[in-house]
């Protein structure tokens, strides 16, 4: 049995009396289980990465197994032995034979292989935490800015918690196996768990095919066009089934709650916040409040937040399905970018939001406020070029949605806020497929968004004032 130091450990923690934990029997049992029953590998690929093994040889054996699987080659004693000998994993063929034979004899029970894999993963994560702790102590000794030190520490720990080791390399074989496994899941009985997350609006989902897992989606428009209202409608529909984090950096909880109650009751949010209600209206508000209280939706308390703060909130919510940020321009710069220009820190923030989406494997819907340059054009519909002053936001985004309402530019006093108006929803960028548009009905007074009925484009909508709006368009 090899007794070498962990190949990926650059910090000599043993010199200060700290031994890095590992479980050799668990590692060998994982390898032995796959050797005896190759189909087991598909259940382990999302749990185990090569770098999680303590010894270089175990990691290389796992990589060879992944390569054989990806190339549709049989995994057995003969093929694996040939692979490890060809790649020089062992000093000699005899040592390779002895070690692989021992792997097959090590496995207590193939049916418990996931438990063995979790032990391997846990030991790896502890080793990563030990390395980070050492780095934090070293950084603290240099007396850096406290906010910067805290933010860097949170980010490092967050990366570990998310299962993302920025120092480790992932072989193509591992990615291929993950992709094949996910494709099988999409076609399986639990497909809904792995497909894009529905917004709850049929027409919008037809264009979007749902909010992609791991995607950064930008919802952009001029102020007052309906971004927050649409985002609230989407968030609440998703929150009927799964947890949602709604980070508002512009409106407080009272304002957002008023919008939600307005949507449910038809009472304007202005009246809810500023005017007394009659008995009937109070009863409507009470019923709406009880209904909304059942949503699995979480909001931020602090009015200022960095992407690191948003990440911390997101990872604290078990089973989180969606993150909404209202809005992108209000996200505070990271500590080490506070003296940088707007383009520099917004570029950093957009990349960090994309990383958050990928690491948590959930969509992040970020609202973006377009500048006045839009209104200088004859055709005031937003374009991708309107995002150019937001750093790398357009490049980082997997999808970009623009909102446009013709009556937004109407003369004051000529539009009745109680009558739903047409809102054009334009998917202008889609990294995964086609782009397209759909029309929706927007009610400014009651904060409602509904789907437009086919063939009745001129202000006719499917149930423009439904009693229950968050259960379907």
In a 10 Å sphere around its CB, with 0-12 CB exposed, 13-18 middle and 19+ buried, how is residue 462 labelled? middle
How many C-alpha atoms does 56 have within 13 Å on its Cβ side? Answer: 10
* 139 Cβ contact list (under 8 Å, min separation 6): 149, 152
- Chain centroid to Cα 161, Å, comes to 14
**Orientation of helix 93-106 relative to helix 24-36, angle to 10°:** 90
- Catalytic residue, from 122, 154, 250, 281: name it: 250
Long-range contacts (CB closer than 8 Å, 24 or more residues apart) made by 344-350: 344/391, 345/391, 346/390, 346/391, 346/392, 346/393, 347/391, 347/392, 347/393, 348/391, 349/306, 349/307, 349/391, 350/216, 350/390, 350/391, 350/392, 350/393, 350/396, 350/397
Tell me the β-bridge partners of 436: 427
**Orientation of helix 279-292 relative to helix 253-265, angle to 10°:** 110
Whether the bond into 327 is cis, omega within 30 of 0 = yes
Q: Assess whether 250 carries a catalytic annotation.
A: yes
Q: Which residue is associated with the tokens 């496994």?
A: 181
425 touches 440 (CB < 8 A): yes
Separation CA 462–CA 450 (nearest Å): 7
Tell me the β-bridge partners of 293: none
> Hey, which residues are catalytic here?
250
């Amino acid at each position: 049995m090899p007794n070498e130091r962990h190949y990926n450990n650059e910090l000599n923690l043993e010199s200060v009396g700290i031994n890095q934990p590992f479980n050799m029997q668990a590692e060998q049992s994982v390898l032995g289980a796959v050797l005896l029953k190759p189909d087991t590998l598909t259940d382990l690929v999302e749990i185990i990465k090569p770098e999680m093994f303590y010894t270089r040889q175990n990691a290389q054996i796992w990589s060879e197994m992944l390569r054989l699987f990806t190339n549709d080659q049989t995994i057995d004693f003969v093929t694996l032995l040939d692979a490890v000998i060809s790649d020089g994993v062992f000093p000699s063929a005899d040592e390779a034979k002895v070690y692989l034979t021992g792997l097959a004899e090590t496995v207590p029970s193939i049916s418990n292989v996931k438990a063995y894999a979790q032990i391997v993963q846990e030991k790896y994560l502890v080793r990563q935490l030990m390395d980070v702790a050492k780095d934090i102590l070293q950084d603290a000794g240099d007396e850096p800015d406290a906010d910067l030190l805290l933010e860097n520490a949170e980010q490092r720990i967050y990366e570990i918690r998310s299962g993302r080791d920025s120092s480790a390399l992932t072989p193509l074989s591992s990615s291929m196996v993950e992709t094949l496994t996910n494709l099988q899941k999409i076609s399986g009985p639990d497909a809904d768990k792995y497909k894009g997350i529905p917004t709850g609006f049929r027409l919008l989902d037809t264009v979007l095919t749902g909010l992609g897992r791991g995607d950064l989606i930008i919802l952009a428009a001029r102020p007052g066009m309906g971004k927050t209202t649409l985002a609230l409608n989407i968030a609440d529909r998703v929150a009927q089934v799964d947890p949602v984090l709604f980070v508002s950096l512009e409106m407080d909880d009272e304002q957002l709650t008023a919008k939600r109650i307005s949507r449910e009751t038809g009472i304007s949010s202005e009246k809810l916040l500023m005017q007394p209600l009659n008995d009937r209206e109070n009863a409507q508000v009470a019923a709406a409040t009880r209904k909304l209280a059942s949503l699995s939706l979480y909001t931020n308390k602090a009015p200022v937040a960095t992407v690191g703060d948003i990440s911390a909130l997101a990872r604290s919510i078990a089973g989180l399905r969606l993150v909404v940020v209202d809005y992108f321009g209000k996200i505070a710069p990271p500590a080490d970018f506070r003296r940088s220009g707007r383009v520099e820190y917004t570029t950093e923030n957009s990349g960090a939001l994309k990383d958050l989406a990928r690491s948590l494997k959930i969509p992040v819907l970020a609202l973006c406020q377009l500048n006045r340059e839009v209104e200088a054009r004859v055709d005031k519909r937003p374009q991708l070029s309107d995002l150019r002053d937001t750093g790398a936001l357009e490049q980082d985004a997997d999808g970009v949605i623009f909102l446009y309402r013709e009556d937004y530019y109407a003369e004051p006093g000529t539009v009745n806020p109680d009558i739903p108006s047409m809102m054009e929803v334009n998917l202008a960028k889609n990294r995964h497929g086609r782009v397209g548009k759909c029309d929706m009905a927007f009610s400014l007074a009651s904060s409602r968004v509904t789907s437009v009925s086919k063939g009745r484009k001129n202000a006719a909508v499917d149930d423009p004032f439904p009693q229950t709006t968050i259960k379907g368009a």
